[in-house]
Amino acid sequence: MLAACTSPGDAPPAAQAASTPLACAQLARAVPHGTRLTLAEEVAAGTINLTGIQPGAPGATAPVPAHCHVQGKIAERTGLDGKPYAIGFDLRLPAQWNGRFFFQGGGGTDGVLRDAIGVLTGGGNTSNALMQGYAVVFTDTGHLNEPGPNGPYQFGLDPQARADNGYNSMAQTARVAKTLIRAHYGQAPQRSYFVGCSNGGRQAMMMTQRYPEMFDGVIASAPAYRVPLASVQAVYDTQLYARAAAEQAPPGPDGRPVLSKAFSPGDMKLLTREVLRQCDALDGLADGMVNNWPACHFKPEVLRCTGAKTDACLGPAQVDALQRSFAGARDAQGKPIYSDWVFDAGLHSVDWTRWKFGDAASGPANARNLTLMTGGLAMFFTTPPTVTNDFWAYAMGFDPQRDTAKVYATEGAFRESAMRMVAADSPDVDAYARHGGKILFFHGVSDPVFSVTDTVRYLEQLRQRYGAATDGMARLFTVPNMAHCSGGPATDQYDGLTELVNWVEQGQAPERVVARARPENADVPWPGRTRPLCAYPKQARYNGSGSIEDAANFSCR
């Protein structure tokens, strides 16, 4: 607890005065009060197996340079639930250091101590920040997942664990990491960057708002910056798609609708074909991508069956589910609870459907909305928490108009609401702006988890506060057809880190980021295609000549 109360910038006098670098095995001498190292080892250049990824799965291994590998625990304690807690961290210090610090953001509700290799944004990146010479850290955010269906959410029963996951663990981890970097190299990092997607994107935004002098630049991709409210939307979606599933197929052995039957793969392809028919050419070029998505006012009712359901139309409950879901859940006064959504051309992808209603091949209740989002809402994002293994029953019994108030509630030992601890929605980044900090946002237009329009809405709040000065501090790049963080029939491979570093260190504000469609992505119909991602509200527009597969023939306008 004492460690949690110290200033994130504090370091012990010995570390601040150090000029002689400490060897990897000596770093335990430099840790701040309240921190304990559990590992300090030299790792040779080569390939490592990544923690938490099934061996043989894509991305299960990563190249690494020779480096010092450190793990430790900060603020070890016993929680109100009687369980042991600590902020765990993994830190890797390359032998050939470029003088920079990279904080690797997390995902979901974290609870896994992953390897700090410096995961880059987008899809299919073969390099990582550690290979590029960055000192990299990662944190489990103060808890480790427990076994069982609700194991990843048990930490929500402890108020301090909630606060650690929401904001405190990132600040404390960065403080310790910078202390150890200084001790190991004999000097502090010249520049510090935070890069993450989803919850990692939320964490990046949190740093700019709560700890504005800690980082010089952040990348917030598909940020979960209002995840408690997005989880309410996810439960609302599950209710809608359950009705559609009941219309399309008989119930499962448990008597419940089979959520994955809400829409067949053919239904989803029909939907995106119609989206393309109505909206593809709004940017002047029919190319399988909706670049001018703000102008797309798609109405799913055009696909409603006039008679029996066929492969060429959608049933009434399917159309109703789409209409209501994409309009967004509303409270009793008719105000949006979270956000509306965009009809885009990536809705048929596995990445989209798996989040919303799962897939039939993996069982009746495998949707990420029904597991991660519902579990988080029940046990972490609402007060008091609801302990449950039956996420289906919880989702079906949740009334958005009545129960959304629980994400703002406090009670007993839970003195901070989930929205206060977790949401990173303040447009007040005055101190970060004075520090010269930069923010890069990336967001897939076909993101099924966090709406691109909600990220646009945050950028607009910055513009209301800072006017034209916003462009010198924050820029958003939307990715047509891309799902959550990566995937979908999209140009989802891009280098955001180089753009951020050039902006922070050279003053080169990014106007366009070239992105590539990965040939290994089965959803991509045009492998190898490149396109410019443009700083919002500009869009990629074809110049009128040259191959439409080459970004060089497009301008941002």
Q: Say whether 336 sits in a helix, a strand or coil.
A: strand
Annotated catalytic residue: which of 484, 486, 492, 523?
484
C-alpha distances out from residue 400 to 234, 303, 333, 394, 414, Å: 10, 28, 12, 12, 21
The verdict on whether 484 is a catalytic residue reads: yes
Q: Are 84 and 348 in contact (CB under 8 A)?
A: no
Annotated catalytic residue: which of 115, 447, 454, 492?
447
Task: List, in order, residues 6 or more apart from 310 with CB less than 8 Å away.
Answer: none
C-alpha distances out from residue 67 to 44, 89, 136, Å: 7, 16, 11
Written as one string, the DSSP assignment of 223-264 is --TTHHHHHHHHHHHHHHHHHHHHHHS---TTSS--GGGSS-
Q: Are 272 and 483 in contact (CB under 8 A)?
A: no
- Biggest CA-to-CA distance, the chain: 80
Task: Say how far residue 262 (Cα) sits from the centre of its chain.
Answer: 26
Annotated catalytic residue: which of 110, 164, 169, 198?
198
The verdict on whether 287 is a catalytic residue reads: no
Q: How far apart are CA 491 and CA 518, in angstroms?
A: 7
Q: How far apart are CA 455 and CA 223, in angstroms?
A: 7
The verdict on whether 403 is a catalytic residue reads: no
Task: Say how far residue 314 (Cα) sits from the centre of its chain.
Answer: 32
Q: How far apart are CA 210 and CA 204, in angstroms?
A: 10
State both tokens at 150. 């609700």
Strands 512-516 and 438-444: unpaired
Q: Are 153 and 374 in contact (CB under 8 A)?
A: no
Strands 438-444 and 474-479: parallel
Q: Which residues are catalytic?
A: 198, 447, 484
